[in-house]
Amino acid sequence: MNATTHKIVVLGAGYTGMLAAIQLARRTRKLAGVRITLVNPAARFTERLRMHQIAAGQELNQYMIPELLAGTGIEFRQAAATAIETGTRTITLDDGTALHYDHLVYALGSATDTTRVPGVAEHAWTLNDPRLAHRFSLRLTETAARRGNVVVCGAGLTGIEAAAEIAEAHPDLTVTLVGSGEPGAMMGEKARAHLNRALDRLGVIRVAGVQVTKVLPDAIRLHTGQLLPADLTLWTSGVKVSPLAKQAGIATDAKGLIITDATLRSVSHPEIHAIGDAAAIEMAWGRVHGTCQTGMPSAAYTAAALTRLLRGKQPKPFRIGYFHQPVSLGRRDAVIQFTNADDTPKRWYLKGKAAVFYKESVSSSPVPAFKMSKHVNVQVAMTNGGRATRKPA
């Protein structure tokens, strides 16, 4: 191998890792000696934002990572990282091999946290894995045949979409959405009203302002002591990130997210770039939260910023602001709350068929963006936040 080879390793092939790797490959293709390796435990690309559809029994297209990378020159390694040695810039993989990096793009993302409430790991289902989501859909069909109960824990966007999707697909089920807050609490009054009308139409029961203290095989227990019957429990509340960064001595926050500077580089190890759910990203208006709306722009930005560094130039600071909160309410309804850069609601919103069309247009499968990124520099950010992000964090 040429001694001047510059090795870039991308850990994680979710939405952000895939986009970062493919855009890096395009941007660096004329730079001599750049070698990009993408590492992921599975060869199948998982569309995390559409997992609730699989759970409700829908069949989605299956995309294999090697096929999506075809023609890019990226090396794909199907393995899981077990350790990072920052001193030698070496990643240990679970297949017994090791990778050296000159720059590391850390895109390991997040997963549903099943450790905080007793019984969740043993008795609840999650949307972390498409295979488990498919098995859950089979159990749903069996439960619907006897008109059983399904409880969805977590009234955030994932919980709302899952509850609506399940209720629409299986009208014989009793679907209950349980959360510490009101569904759609982050939305404006009119958008929230439409959301609640849709849930009423679908027969979704809401139990808000409660804490789940235990998940049992056939029920959940609330902090009030009340038991809610549950033939199936779907857990969508809380997230956790890989402990890998913290274990490696990389500077992280209390949740294990890598603390980044204005260019999304680790404040303790600048050769490490953190993106998506794995990064603690601060804007002038506050902390970016883990959504595709900011995750994919962070990936595209890092591909451009790292390329500039390789060319001996300094990248400009990352800027991003929120634009909307899109929520599907089954296959035939949706609501879109337009927002300020800090994710607070504006007056404007969309509902019904117009919202369905909008959501499918701007937040459907990322695969077309991956394919286009092989040929052009695809822009994925809808807004850079305007004046709200011009001041330093």
Confidence of residue 382 (pLDDT cuts 50, 70, 90): low
Query: pLDDT (tens digit, 9 = 90+) per residue, 156-165?
Result: 999 999 999 9
Given a cut of 60, whether residue 392 has pLDDT beyond it is no
What is the pLDDT of the chain when averaged over all its residues?
94
Query: pLDDT (tens digit, 9 = 90+) per residue, 316-353?
Result: 999 999 999 999 999 999 999 999 999 999 999 999 99
Query: pLDDT (tens digit, 9 = 90+) per residue, 12-41?
Result: 999 999 999 999 999 999 999 999 999 999
Query: pLDDT (tens digit, 9 = 90+) per residue, 139-161?
Result: 999 999 999 999 999 999 999 99
Given a cut of 50, whether residue 166 has pLDDT beyond it is yes
Query: pLDDT (tens digit, 9 = 90+) per residue, 208-263?
Result: 999 999 999 999 999 999 999 999 999 999 999 999 999 999 999 999 999 999 99
321 close to 42: Cβ distance less than 8 angstroms: no
278 close to 12: Cβ distance less than 8 angstroms: yes
Given a cut of 80, whether residue 386 has pLDDT beyond it is no
Given a cut of 90, whether residue 104 has pLDDT beyond it is yes
Given a cut of 80, whether residue 2 has pLDDT beyond it is no
User: And the tokens for 126?
Assistant: 């999650």
